[in-house]
Amino acid sequence: MPVPKKRHSNTRTNRRRANWKAKPVSFAACPSCGEPTMPHRACPKCGSYQGRQAVVKKEKKGRNKEK
């Protein structure tokens, strides 16, 4: 495997690494509930994916305030 003969300068190294930026996460609106979701994933709120129910969401049992 080839090995560099001379050392790269800091400027040259930093210039090469300048394009290693983190990209912002893209979101799309869920067609059924309108909640923002990541593309190619089931909606975390309603559980639908591509117009069908992919994940069955259970109702959360909360405290009953009626006495």
Residue type, 58: K
- Amino acid letter at 53? Q
Tally of CB atoms within 10 A around 66: 3
Domain segments of the chain: what residues?
25-56
The SS3 of residue 12 is helix
pLDDT in tens, the chain (67 residues): 888 899 999 999 999 999 888 889 999 999 888 999 999 999 988 889 988 888 887 777 777 666 5
Report the half-sphere exposure of 34 (CA within 13 A, side-chain side): 0
The pTM score is 0.52
Report the sign of the C-alpha dihedral through residues 49, 52, 55, 59, in that order.
positive
